[in-house]
Amino acid sequence: MENNRRRKNRNIIWIALSLLGLVIGANILFRDSPPVQSAHAFLNKISNDTLYPKTNEEALKQQNANPEPNPPVPEKTALPSAKSAEVSDVPAVGKMIAKIPLSKPTVYLTFDDGPGRYTQDIVEILDKNDIKGGFFWVGQNLKTEQQSTFAKKMLENGHIIGTHTMHHETLRKKPKDVQVQMIRTSTEYISQKIGAPIYYFRPPYGAIDQNTLVASKETNQILAYWNVDSLDWKHGDKPDLIMNNIASEVKPGSIILMHEKEQTVRLLPKIIELLKQKGYGFAPLPVPDPVEKS
């Protein structure tokens, strides 16, 4: 009996040792297998935020501690609230225009703040390309007989000269009668100097109000605005930005605003070539039939 009990215990011990050996062998065989390693790697890649999500309060604190920067606001010249006249050929006197659509893709090149040292350079570039420009002059800049003679030659070649007030003053918020006088004074002065009637007026800084529209009509002027601002006066050291301003905003019928600046002279041939590549032709601001003034 005692021998049977001992034999039975030995069998149990042997079975237990065999099972233990199988467990140890399996662990050695599969512990470092690729699937197990991949599983460990996957778990190690899970962030604490995934396993233990932040509460709304914690997330808000982190967001406030690291706020996202505000996106840059593109710089653009704001157009006035008054509606631009949609015209097909010759604008009506007393209306504001920002574009002049024609049957073919056409743009209008205009230049403010002359006459000055760069006027002749700009005109020569335009003449070389058979383009007629629109020039908005400040009365106080037109002083010499030489300037008057050159202006008459410009008109003979098809360019247009308009007014930009006598002293480049803002009209907006001034009484209507004051605005009328400001427009009329510059119109009569420049007209006398160049020996030709004036049909176009452009407000300095583009600053207008309802009185400006009324004053423009009472002085028999077309209020010439624009829908493409090159910002050449501001970005003289950034020619690519000036080019991009024109390329991104130009449309058929666009009136393009530029100034009589050195940087404009340098870029004008490239601007003309850019517009030609986009399929645009060029035209002068159309001159309406003369209106008799009382």
pLDDT at 258: 98
Tens of pLDDT, residues 91-141: 877 889 999 988 899 999 999 999 999 999 999 999 999 999 999 999 999
Domain boundaries of the chain, sorted by first residue: 2-65, 96-282
C-beta atoms surrounding 182 within 10 Å: 25
Q: Specify whether 112 is catalytic.
A: yes
Token duo for residue 143: 């002083």
With both helix axes pointing from N to C terminus, report the angle between 145-156 and 176-194 in degrees, rounded to the nearest 10: 90
Q: Specify whether 121 is catalytic.
A: no
User: Residue 273 above 80 pLDDT?
Assistant: yes
User: Residue 69 above 60 pLDDT?
Assistant: no
Set 164, 229, 232, 259: catalytic member: 259
Please give the average per-residue pLDDT across 196-214, as a whole number: 96
112 close to 77: Cβ distance less than 8 angstroms: no
Per 3-state DSSP, the chain is made up of helix, strand and coil in percentages (nearest 5) of 45, 10, 40
Set 112, 113, 209, 229: catalytic member: 112
Whether the model clears a pTM of 0.75, i.e. scores above it, the answer is no
Is the domain defined by 96-282 classed in CATH 3.40.50.12240?
A: no
More confident position, 271 or 66 = 271
Please report, rounded to a whole number, the percentage of residues in the chain having pLDDT higher than 90.
64
For residues 122 and 131, what is the distance between their CA atoms, to the nearest angstrom?
11
User: What would you measure as the largest C-alpha separation in the chain, in angstroms?
Assistant: 146
Between CA 168 and CA 172, with CA 169 as vertex, the angle to 5 degrees is 135
Residue that is written with structure tokens 């009329």 in the block: 184
Cα 293 from chain centre: 40
